[in-house]
Amino acid sequence: MKKDNFLIVGSGGRESAFALKLFEDTTLHAFLSHKNPTIIECIEKSGGVYTVGDVNNAKEVAEFAVSCNIDYAFVSADDPLSNGVVDGMLNRNIKAVGGTKAATQIEWDKIYSIDMMQKVCPEFTPYYQVIKNKGELSSAIQEFQDKGIEIVVKPQGLTGGKGVKVMPEHLKDYSDCIDYASELLDKCPNEKVLLVEKLKGIEFTIMGITDGENLVMSPASYDYPFRFENDFGAGTGGMGCFTNNEKKLPFMSDKDLQDCQYIMQKIIDEMRNEKLLFNGVLNGGFFKTKEGIKFMEFNGRFGDPEGLNILTILESSFADVIRDMWHKTLSEDKVLFIKKSSVIKYLVAKEYPRESNEATIFTIDKEAINKMGVNIFFASSIEKSNNQYQTLKKSRAIAFGAVAEKIEDAGKLVNQAIEKFVHADLEYRSDIGSKENLEKLLNYDFGK
């Protein structure tokens, strides 16, 4: 029986996870930004083809999809989505899953997303102000000061997490907030600036898998954005992540989970009301606070590393899930997850998140790692020779993931695989998913 032709777009660890879930029951093709070893191996096993080019060029991606007779395409990376790669394929009659450029405004325009939240779920929305020009800054920030609320300053558009500054960690006082917001307005005169209440609580993510009408919640995930152990250092794209052996995290209540689902369903319904074509993944960033759940942000795609966790524990056929997202036939019983915990950890160059001056050569024993039950997800690295690889000097090099009954056991398994079978001048966070780290979360003081 002929297998459907599936296309993925991108070369990150997230796309490696897609490839590992798709290659056995599809003929897999890929439009890559670089030769990711995981993806290429999966494509070769499935009998598909790949090309390397600009993943943000909607015309080029669509032409490649047509040339490969693609049945279904799945796009779930921020830049291709915001550059209309899905739109380009839809215009060529390719069944492309992932939000259109207009629909993924939910991610690339922070003001649009928080305004939508205020409209449909005001009770879960933090206090915020939208600044159009410098003349509005002093009075707006005075309102935060009068309420005794610390501020998060956010540029309107996508910045890869690097444009957001928080008081007092990055901005020591309200005066610094005025200065930084002014700087953003000068830098991007056509964009506004968002001032948001700084929330006290535990940040977490839930990815909702959706066909634009129906919503299936994946297990919640806890991400480690800071570079070094014990949450020190610069913010990053994510050093690793864990999920629990049930849909809620250890510090969450059933009501927390229900509230997140309520919020995300309301957002999907509102986008449909606005005639926006959105399917794929609505990625909700939330805070658990003393008042309950509060909204932080939305992304219109699988997170990375969070998506690696979710696909590792996905029991259902990912190809079937993509088909159901396209045909609007998604339901809870069609998206099943194994009831185990998962941990993902990234290896990075010592300089990360700064770009390295030189590439790092590293070797891994893939066979031994896989025998341990640990998954390998190549990201910003390429193959030099058999089992020898080279980093691309920027971003995260390679991720490893495992599942176990307990979060801490999955974390230990990943650590063992890295210590025994990876030979590299690269670094990772051994504390991700550790027992001590979990206890810290469970004993978090939310205040009175």
Same domain as 151, residue 77: no
DSSP 8-state code for residue 314: B
The residue ranges of the chain whose pLDDT is under 70 are 159-162, 448
- CA nearest 106: which of 268, 259, 222, 214? 268
Q: Are residues 373 and 412 in the same domain?
A: yes
Q: Are residues 345 and 335 in the same domain?
A: no
Buried b (16+ CB within 10 A) or exposed e, 393-426: bbbbbbbbbbbbebbbbbbbbbbebbeebbebeb
Q: Is residue 332 part of a domain?
A: yes
Decide which of 164, 180, 197 is a domain's last residue: 197
What's the pLDDT tens digit per position in 231-266? 999 889 999 999 999 999 999 999 999 999 999 999
Q: What is this structure's pTM?
A: 0.96
Q: Are 156 and 191 a contacting pair, CB within 8 Å?
A: yes
Residue 79 to residue 57: CA distance in whole angstroms: 10
Give per-residue pLDDT as tens, 62-95: 999 999 999 999 999 999 999 999 999 999 999 9
The verdict on residue 91 lying in a domain is yes
How much is the pLDDT for 157? 83
Task: Give domain status of residue 104, yes or no.
Answer: no
Does 108 fall in a domain? no
Q: Say if residue 261 is in the same domain as residue 366.
A: no
Give the pLDDT of residue 161. Answer: 60
- How buried is residue 254: exposed, middle or buried, by Cβ count under 10 Å (0-12/13-18/19+)? exposed
**Same domain for 121 and 261:** yes
Dihedrals φ, ψ of 432, to 5°?
Answer: -65, 120
C-beta of residue 110 within 8 angstroms of C-beta of residue 80:
no
Are residues 328 and 348 both part of a single domain?
no
Q: How far is CA 12 from CA 56, 102, 301, in A?
A: 14, 24, 13
State how many domains the chain has: 4
Co-location of 349 and 403 in the same domain: yes
Residue 163's domain is classified under what CATH number? Answer: 3.30.1490.20
- φ/ψ bin of 147: left (φ > 0), alpha (ψ from -120 to 50), beta (otherwise): alpha
CA distance 201 to 294: 9
Q: Which residues are bridge partners to 294 per DSSP? A: 287
Tell me how far apart the alpha carbons of residues 218 and 371 are, in angstroms, rounded to a whole number.
27
pLDDT of residue 235: 86
For 227, the domain range is 117-125+199-339
Q: 290, 319, 339 — which closes off a domain? A: 339
Nearest-10 crossing angle of helices 407-421, 435-442: 150
| Whether residues 284 and 381 fall in one domain | no
Same domain, 121 and 256: yes
| Residue 357 belongs to some domain of the structure | yes
- As a whole number of angstroms, the distance between CA 46 and CA 24 comes to 6
Q: Does residue 105 form part of some domain?
A: no
